[in-house]
Homo-oligomer: A and B are copies of this chain.
Amino acid sequence: MPKKDQPVSLPVLRRLPRYYRLLEKLESEGVERISSIEIAKQLGLTASQIRQDLNCFGGFGQQGYGYGVSPLCKEIGNILHLNENLTAVLIGVGNLGRALCGYLSGEAKGITLIGLFDKNPNAAQTASGLPIMNVDKLDDFCKERHPRVAILCIPGENAQQTAEKLVNLGIEGFWNFSHTDLRLPDNILVEDVHLGDSLMTLGYRVWDSDASENNRNGGAEK
């Protein structure tokens, strides 16, 4: 039985969705059981790390048998609350906002988009079957529908002010795609997706690996 009352550390938590994704894929392929060694191989982790992680929730494996794919997938889904329903609003319905609408109304689990907002909504436009409302309707909407999560796809310069307003309207967590670090009260949860940071990191690593290779080749031109 999982030890549900124990807090999960953030590094463990960040691995859980990877386990879930792999198990879901294996389940769809009809795989019935898998060893920690095989999970490790597929995810580039160590088998002992995987056993340790899954033990945080009481462990589901049997020595010599491995893990049952379906029960483990279901259990991790439960831990991640994927069968529950977190209500969300999305602010900023540009290309990125639309891409996220598609994802949220398609394969994403555990979250339901209930309102879309934009500064300049086109009256006739919808996304994922929802009307796009003017941001000045946000107050009334939140007071009536009590969304818990806000997805920010707006420019960095407006993000802090909008986020503060949303906190006052009861938003508990942010999925932040705005290019800025939000400064919010400690009890507010922020999951940043800083695309620019990720791209700059990739760029550095590609140039750096180039330089290392040149060094290994005695500085010769590639």
Contact = CB atoms under 8 A, between A and B. Distances in A.
Contacts of A194: 17-18, 21
Query: What is the copy number of this chain in the assembly?
Result: 2
A206 B193 contact: no
Nearest to A4: B211
A205 B156 CA distance: 24
A191 B175 contact: no
Contact of A193 (B102, B173, B191, B195): B195
Q: What size tier do the contact residues of chain A reach?
A: 35 or more
Say whether chain A's binding surface is mostly helix, strand, loop, or mixed: helix
Which are the 4 A-B pairs with shortest beta-carbon distances? A95-B99, A96-B99, A17-B197, A191-B202
Interface of A: 7-8, 13-14, 16-18, 20-22, 25, 42-44, 79-82, 84, 86, 94-96, 98-100, 102-103, 107-111, 148-149, 156, 172-175, 179-181, 183, 187, 189, 191, 193-210, 212
